[in-house]
Structure 1
Amino acid sequence: MKRILIIDDEFEVQNFFSFLLRNKGFDLSFASNKDEIDGCLACKPYQLALVDLKLPDTDGITILKDIKQRMPACKVVIMTGYSTVKSALEAIRLGADDYIEKPFDDITELELLIDKLLTSETSLDQDKALELAEQIGFVIGESQKMHHLLSLAYKVAQKNVTLLIEGETGTGKEVLARFIHEASSRLVHPFIGVNCGALTETLLESELFGHEKGAFTGATQLRKGFFEIASKGTLFLDEIGDASPSIQVKLLRILETREFMRVGSERHLHTDTRIIAASHIHLNEAVNQGKFREDLLYRLDVVKLHIPPLRERKEDIPFLAKYLLKRHAAQQLSFSSDAVHLMEQYGWPGNVRELSNVITRAITFADGETTIITPEYLSINLEISKHSPFPQAKQQEWVGNQEAKDIISLEQHLEKWKEGILSQWKSSGTIDLPSIMEQTKKLEQVVGTAFVKKALRETIGNRKEASRLLNISPRNLRYLLNEKGKDC
């Protein structure tokens, strides 16, 4: 028989669970204060505890720690009101398995949660989360921090709460937002992302709220905004810290009332979109500097998720590097131990995005030359990092290695070309023009390839951009790389 402990000081709540669970064959115990809790925990083991966050003489966080210390296998669900959801999320970080909000509006959902926690289904949640993350390209790696973030994101995805994602540039905030959308009940509805710092105030307002025909010059027809299009879905507001004061006011109103007006309209519209905001700056600091509204931050920061920078989870770097090789269909390549060590020591100010660019470039130059990616292939785009313990001279040496190799190779071909002409002249006093033309053609190929490689370095492996810089067609670029049958 499964034993469940209900900890709540409200008699109505205890009575509710007694009525809900008695007929299911569970052994129920109830406690409303610290002494009763201690007595229950000392009496018998429990498989599940439902714990109210606030009690007269203790709190849910303290009880959670006590239960996990005495009974590590006991599942714990925190019961909370909407105003204390943040504390409930802190409880999950400390080991709680889930949280539920009071009053309990969806009894069926509550029953399903209890049944799931009392069976082996909870062990499947992590597997489902990992599978979904892999499908959408949210690479977790090996670090405990990222696995904990994934578990937390998967749980809150199924709650109807506003989320704030903080993390440095390039950490993957939009990919995490898309993961949350795909893990929620809204996945069949639109996911729309907008960068609040990439648009002017007027254009951003029109994009978010829509406009009526004739609302301004150029508004030739009615246009629905993202809040209207993404209703019942998810709206991702990236770089929310860059939104103007006027836009911040309008966002505050829509978060409070779920109502908005199109530009040029006086009619209120309703939206049921879920808002996920993101910022690479700390919004608390922006509030202190007077750049962001404190009341808006309060509305956005119901649940905050923080993506750690790559330099704080270096154990993930080898895993990410192998994943990027696989994504580029370059499994024939591998990394030398020195290359892996360099990647682990570098500070990665651009985070996963920078790692992806560096490896894309390394693949471009290593393909056809070697099967082992060594430090000189990685050093193409590595800059001196304040986070890196490597000596500056050593890093600069790596940066120049590949370019030096190309110069030496070019000089060797030039010398061979000259020797061929001189040898013919000395031996016969004449020159075999067809032979010289053939050698010159080969030299042109070598020179052209050297310029192509240099252009590819400067464009992080972007072949179309390299073609533009060299003023040649992508087809000619492929020819110079001896890739006549490949596409750019």
Structure 2
Amino acid sequence: MNRKNKYQILAVDDSLEMLELLRRNLKSCGYNIITVSSVIDATKVLESTEIDLVITDLQMPQINGIELIKHLKENYKNTGILVITGYPSIKNAVETVKLGAYDYLIKSFTRDELINAVEKSLLTVENQKEKEEENHYQIQIDGIIGNSKAMQAIFKDLLKASRIKTTILLNGETGTGKELVARAIHYNSKESTAPFIPVNCGGIPEALLESELFGYLKGAFTGATETRGGFFQAADGGSIFLDEIHNTSMSMQAKLLRVLQEKEINMIGSNHAQKINVRVIAAANVDLFQLVKKKLFREDLYYRLNIIPISIPPLRERDGDINILIRYFSLKYAKENGLKNPRFTDRVLQILNNYDWPGNVRELENIVHRLVVMSDGSKIDVPDLPVMMRHSIQSHNNLNKSLKEVETEHIQMILAYVGGNKTKASEILGIDRKTLRERLKTIENSLNLIQE
């Protein structure tokens, strides 16, 4: 595919002969070009079409090219400007460059001069966009990106929490970035050079969790052929992140409570306690207090963990962050794979902004990753979206559905999309297989209740 096909050029001149000359020369090079004979018509095109470069005459009746350049710089800062004129003057040249024109051509230019000026201007557009994209992501802390009020509040909370070496409880839906927040707390603390050890409590079988956390002595049980330290010893002096802590048993909760109270651990097979100096950051994607009420989580452990609580908002509550994240992930995966960063059409951005994102940021990242590597390198449009997402958009107008109903429909659509493959479904949803099994069991129970 000719890469020039991805560029949309708008030519503005009151001379029909000049417009035809521009159209013929640029079309023959593979560019897409729209021609109009007035500034008023140009503004209408700009409102409905994404334009990469405007080629404009200066002297035109009613509204001149200078006014169009001003309009472009105020409203379309990433659109390039190439000026052509039959009345050359140093004053005009200086004025147009100051206003933001990339280049200046006199109306006796050759075909080669035109093509070179267009290529140079488009290269400047690309470089400017990439520089802006990279600078845009200063709105982040250690990889957590967001400009919404909700995320700015999180940034403040985590920076405050990092200054105090005490237990922290993170709460948020699956895929909201709890581990990123935990890492940011650790790496902004005085202990940033010490270890940060993440542990997924829900991903380790109960029978192995104690030995993984606290370690064991040689001969402590069958298979213990050597003494081995656990995650707490590895994190000594730093931080340990206990994700999905709600999946631990009552017995394990009692052991963790002792660690927090006494600041010591017992290796399996040892009668001697070891003192440790570890900041515990725990996380849950359910309301722990509700589990306490149901006697499914220890109340004393809950209060020990909940000294500094931080609630991470779901993506649907982060107003304005979706487009920022889309640009960030798109640029990231385009660079990683040596691809040109594709343009997301306004319709696609609208669809992605209206989507419910039950898998939150992780789901968004997975979808953007797939769109970037599977695109032809020019633009992402509605047909490029996953089938299940397009189907979801069609049914999105029903605003009477509960979040639970939307989540159930989404999980069922994903499973249908991947032919029932739970591993692939888990990856798209941004959850582990265990969490998916639990959600499916809940859905199955709900359906059985309806049938009864």
Question: TM-score, normalization: structure 1?
Answer: 0.51
Query: Is residue 194 of structure 1 aligned with residue 199 of structure 2?
Result: yes
Residue 199 of structure 1: how far off its partner (Å): 1.1
Classify 1:387/1:338 alpha carbon distance in 2 versus 1 (closer, same or farther; 3 Å).
closer
Moved more, 178-187 or 372-381: 372-381
Shift of 1:259: 1.3
Q: 1:274 aligns to what? A: 279
Match of 2:386 in 1: 379
The answer on 1:181 being equivalent to 2:186 is: yes
Inter-partner Cα distance in structure 2 for 1:219 and 1:172? 36
CA contact (8 A) 2:291 2:297 kept: yes
Q: Return the match for 2:144 from 135, 138, 150.
A: 138
Is the partner of 2:320 in helix, strand or coil?
helix
Instruction: Give the 5 Å matches for 1:110-189.
Output: 133-134=140-141, 136-139=142-145, 141-189=146-194
Query: Does 1:303 find its partner at 2:308?
Result: yes
Cα deviation, 1:407-443, whole Å, max 9, x if unaligned, reads: xxxxxxxxxxxxxxxxxxxxxxxxxxxxxxxxxxxxx
- CA offsets per residue over residues 337-377 of structure 1, 9 Å max, x none? 000100110000000011011111111221x2x51111221
The residue number in structure 1 matching 2:343 is 334
1:165, distance to aligned residue in structure 2 (A): 0.3
Q: Residue 316 of structure 1 aligns with which residue? A: 321
- Counterpart for residue 290 of structure 2: 285
1:18-47: CA deviation from partner (whole Å, max 9, x where unpaired) = xxxxxxxxxxxxxxxxxxxxxxxxxxxxxx
**Unmatched segments (≥5 aa) in structure 1:** 1-129, 393-398, 400-453, 463-488
Query: 3-state DSSP class of the match of 2:183?
Result: helix
State the Cα distance separating 1:385 from its structure 2 match: 5.5
Q: After TM superposition, where is structure 1 displaced by more than 2 Å over at least 4 residues in a row? A: 130-134, 378-392
> Which residue number in structure 2 is paired with residue 107 of structure 1?
none
Equivalent residue letter for 1:362: L
Structure 1 residues 459 and 257: CA distance shift in structure 2, 3 A: closer
* 1:364 aligns to 2:373 (yes or no): yes
User: Would you say the 8 A contact 2:217–2:227 is kept in 1?
Assistant: yes
Over residues 106-163 of structure 1, what are the superposed CA-to-partner deviations in whole Å (9 max), with x where a residue is unaligned? xxxxxxxxxxxxxxxxxxxxxxxx86945x4222x22011011111111110111110
| Residue 380 of structure 1: how far off its partner (Å) | 4.1
- CA apart distance, 1:384: 5.8
**1:301 to partner: Cα distance:** 0.1
* Matching residue of 2:210: 205
1:355 and 2:359 aligned: no
Three-state SS of the structure 2 residue aligned to 1:344 is helix
Corresponding residue of 2:59: none
In structure 2, relative to structure 1, the CA distance for the partners of 1:186 and 1:387 (3 Å cut) is farther
Cα contact 1:171–1:309 (8 A) shared by 2: yes
Partners of 1:178 and 1:279 in 2: CA distance: 16
Distance across 1 between alignment mates of 2:364 and 2:182: 21
Note closer, same or farther for the CA distance 1:295–1:221 as it changes in structure 2 (3 Å cut). same
Aligned AA (2:374): F
Contact 2:340 2:378 in 1 (8 A): no
Report how far residue 388 of structure 1 moved. 7.3
Structure 2 unmatched runs, 5+: 1-136, 400-409, 411-418, 428-452
Moved more, 379-388 or 166-175: 379-388
Residues 55-106 of structure 1, C-alpha deviation per residue, up to 9 Å, x if partnerless? xxxxxxxxxxxxxxxxxxxxxxxxxxxxxxxxxxxxxxxxxxxxxxxxxxxx
- Give RMSD over aligned pairs: 2.9
2:399 maps to 1:389: no
CA–CA distance in structure 1, aligned partners of residues 362 and 228 of structure 2: 34
Identical columns (%): 40
Question: Which amino acid in the other structure matches residue 340 of structure 1?
Answer: L
State the TM-score, normalized to the length of structure 2.
0.55
How many pairs does the alignment contain? 268
